[in-house]
Structure 1
Amino acid sequence: MNKPELEGTAHLLDELDKKLMVLLRDGRTLIGYLRSVDQFANLVLHRTIERIHVGKEYGDIPRGVFIVRGENVVLLGEIDTEKEGELPLSEVSVEDILDAQRKEQEQKQDQQKKIAKALQERGMHFMSDINQEDMY
């Protein structure tokens, strides 16, 4: 007899106790073992790490037990533990990856400022230059 198809967040019940990668709305990447899930797709991850990627390097920050609201999940999937060690990336210390991430963010901000300035010189406004109050 065929197993009945689960609908909605019930699909996540098949992922309990598996190692998952979760991409959050704010861009963070979490890797941990799924311990619990509810009808809103809220997740409880155990032995969680936050993985930060910059170029071809990554660093892992231990986070322990992590509760994630379902509305913040963009993507989630099971980690293939056999292929996990074959990453084409090199692991660096937490301090090094945080420093690289800070430098990368500074470069992006500088680039956005240049774009905003160029648009402003042409009479246009970059969205970050517009006050929230002006939008309503």
Structure 2
Amino acid sequence: MSFGSAGLGDEVDKKLIVVLRDGRKYIGIMRTYDQFANIILQDTIERAYCGEYYSDKSLGVFFIRGDNVVILGEIDTEKESLEKKLIKVSWDEIQRMLQIEKQKREEEEQLKKRVMAESGLTFDSILNLDDF
């Protein structure tokens, strides 16, 4: 099986970041892959970001289904160690920050919906604009 010169075969034994459809980010060394682009990462961490803060959670060996992958990229280990502009916090703290951020987004979305409804706009009326 060959993916060509720019395929996954070139990424074996390299440190990668993998972004999934749900937004989760995993960093680890890719050990193998299959014809479905399923991959196995070794020394995997899950990394979460919130503003200028981040946190890592160690997962060890990790299997990722290829159909969940949005982005896969190599990490430059030299640059990674040189640039530390973000502040590392505990996993529990970053989860609290992310929960607060999610609640703020939901409140903003509810406010937008309420303002639209008060203005006489609904999601259905916007969809029906094509009828004109």
TM-score (norm 1): 0.81
Could you tell me which amino acid in structure 2 is paired with residue 35 of structure 1? Answer: R
For residue 20 of structure 1, give the secondary structure of its aligned residue in structure 2: strand
Cα displacement string for residues 13-62 of structure 1 (whole angstroms, at most 9, x for unaligned residues)? 11111110011110111101101111111111111111000001100011
Q: For residue 106 of structure 2, what is the aligned residue in structure 1?
A: 109
1:4-83 residue pairs with structure 2 within 5 A?
A: 6-7=3-4, 11-83=7-79
Q: Mind listing any 5+ residue stretches in structure 1 that lack a counterpart?
A: 128-136
Percent identity for Structure 1 against Structure 2: 46
- SS of 1:75's partner is strand
Local SS of the residue matching 1:47 = strand
Counterpart for residue 129 of structure 2 = none
Where 1:27 maps in the other structure, the secondary structure is coil
What SS does structure 2 have at the residue aligned with 1:61? strand
Deviates more, 1:64-73 or 1:24-33: 64-73
SS in 1 for 2:77: coil
- Compute the RMSD of aligned alpha carbons: 2.0
The count of corresponding residues between Structure 1 and Structure 2 is: 122
Distance apart, 1:71 and its partner CA: 1.4
CA shift in 2, pair 1:90/1:126, >3 Å: farther
SS at match of 1:83: helix
One-letter amino acid matched to 2:107: D
How many angstroms does 1:6 deviate by? 4.7
CA distance in 1, matches of 2:40, 2:29: 8
